Amino acid sequence: MRTQVGIIGAGPAGLLLSHLLHLRGIDSVVLESRSRDQIESTIRAGVLEQGTMDLLTEAGVGARMKAEGALHHGFELAFEGKRHRIDLTGLTGHSITVYAQHEVIKDLVAARVADDGKLRFGVSETSIHGIDTDTPSIRYRHEGEAYELQCDFVIGCDGSQGVSRASIPQALRKDFERVYPFGWFGILCEGPPSSDELIYARHERGFALISTRSPNVQRMYFQCDPKDSVENWSDDRIWAELHARVDSHDGQTIVDGKIFQKNIVGMRSFVSNTMQHGRLFLAGDAAHIVPPTGAKGMNLAVADVRVLTEALNAFYVENRTDLLDSYSTTALKRIWRAEHFSYWMTSMMHRIEGASPFEQQLQVAELEYVTTSRAAATVMAENYVGIAGAHA
Ligand code: DHB
């Protein structure tokens, strides 16, 4: 089999790239190890930056996001028993939409299927060959048969543990990493929203986040030991912890509901430099990971794909390679800005085991600053909506 662009991984990066290339008349095949059902139900974050919303809309896959997602013009920072609003739209002119990542996945898969896009689910033993040549290929097994997909380019969108990054020789790559000694316990529950906007809370007991999924389903998180087990947390214990961390001194409280999903995620920052080698390019989690605070993960994947689409288009339409050559450098500017922001928000809001009282007061001083200084609030807001720093 032959295609122009072979894409490994049907997450947001791989599916969106395939769709955007199709709109430019460029052929691609997407190979995914999981089933369609699995990718459409994996629960991840849910904040779409302005640029992500705009791109999905321009690409004709934004209708359900617009209808079912919630447009938010601000969020709240809770600390020392009080809530403080960050006015995203007032400070930046931009906003965000709360819409779950797996819903974006469903919309992209539906679009690819409607356009007769080539998606292969449940593939195994995927390997990449000839990336130093102009004729790379991907070998894989599907439904018991062995295949080789010949392509002009291989795009690795297969996440942090995938084969793609490992196919760039280690000697040509530098990995940057930070592992945080805490995780997030996430729940989905039935019930109305606790607040009109997201609440990020810092408390001596640890961080908590109140988000939403729909008028009847809410998403909440609280900092936990990443090695803890969901079995240790009864619903009552979870609600007690969330109330202790988020409720305000003036009586503002969160709304309990029936919990129907619990999970624990670890937290890590990671950047691979470089994101390209020969005819292999990495996008999304295959190249970089952020801790979830600020929900930049999918937005960075979308930003990578935007750059890569232009670069591949310039190659096919104008026979130009300059945008492909500069892909890594261009994408990494935005990635490092988001890496810093995610690390900063994480560090300011989490309970850090062993932190001195002095260091704890610095966290509060920083939160006081971003909630009282317009300049500091703008720093937070422009990073949150995704317009800060270098643009991809
Ligand atoms: C959500 C996740 C995040 O990491 C965040 O910063 C905001 C919202 C969410 O899942 O809704």
Digits of tens for pLDDT over the chain (392 positions)? Answer: 999 999 999 999 999 999 999 999 999 999 999 999 999 999 899 999 999 999 999 999 999 999 999 999 999 999 999 999 999 999 999 999 999 999 999 999 999 999 999 999 999 999 999 999 999 999 999 999 999 999 999 999 999 999 999 999 999 999 999 999 999 999 999 999 999 999 999 999 999 999 999 999 999 999 999 999 999 999 999 999 999 999 999 999 999 999 999 999 999 999 999 999 999 999 999 999 999 999 999 999 999 999 999 999 999 999 999 999 999 999 999 999 999 999 999 999 999 999 999 999 999 999 999 999 999 999 999 999 999 975 54
Alpha helices in 98-225 (DSSP H): 101-114, 163-166
Mean pLDDT of the chain: 97
Please tell me the predicted confidence (pLDDT) of residue 392. Answer: 47
Residue whose pair of structure tokens reads 């996440």 in the numeric block: 159
Question: Mind listing the pLDDT tens digit for each residue in 285-333?
Answer: 999 999 999 999 999 999 999 999 999 999 999 999 999 999 999 999 9
Classify each residue of 358-383 as buried b or exposed e, where b means 16 or more C-beta atoms within 10 Å of its C-beta: eeeeebeebbeebbeeeeebbbbbbb
Distance CA 352, CA 359 (A): 9
Q: Which two tokens stand for residue 153?
A: 């380019």
What sections of the chain are H helices per DSSP? 12-23, 36-41, 50-58, 63-68, 88-92, 101-114, 163-166, 235-246, 297-318, 322-325, 327-349, 357-372, 374-385
293 lines ligand 1 (CB under 6 A): yes
Q: Is 46 in the pocket of ligand 1 (CB under 6 A)?
A: yes
> Measured from the CB, is residue 48 less than 6 Å from ligand 1?
no
Residue with tokens 């909506």: 385
- What pTM, to 2 d.p., does this model score? 0.97
Delineate the domains of the chain, giving CATH numbers in brackets. 5-70+97-176+269-350 (3.50.50.60)
**Is 140 noted as a catalytic residue in this protein?**
no
**Which residue from 197, 199, 221 has its CB within 8 A of the most atoms of ligand 1, so it is best to mutate?**
221
12 close to ligand 1 (CB < 6 Angstrom): no
Residue 72 falls in the annotated catalytic set: yes
> Can you give the pLDDT at residue 66?
97
Structure-block tokens of residue 249: 């001194």
pLDDT in tens, 236-290: 999 999 999 999 999 999 999 999 999 999 999 999 999 999 999 999 999 999 9
Active site residue 292: yes
Angstrom distance (rounded) from CA 31 to CA 18: 11
Distance from Cα 280 to the centre of ligand 1, integer Å: 31
Q: Which two tokens stand for residue 313?
A: 């288009």
- For atom 3 of ligand 1, the residue with the nearest CA is 295
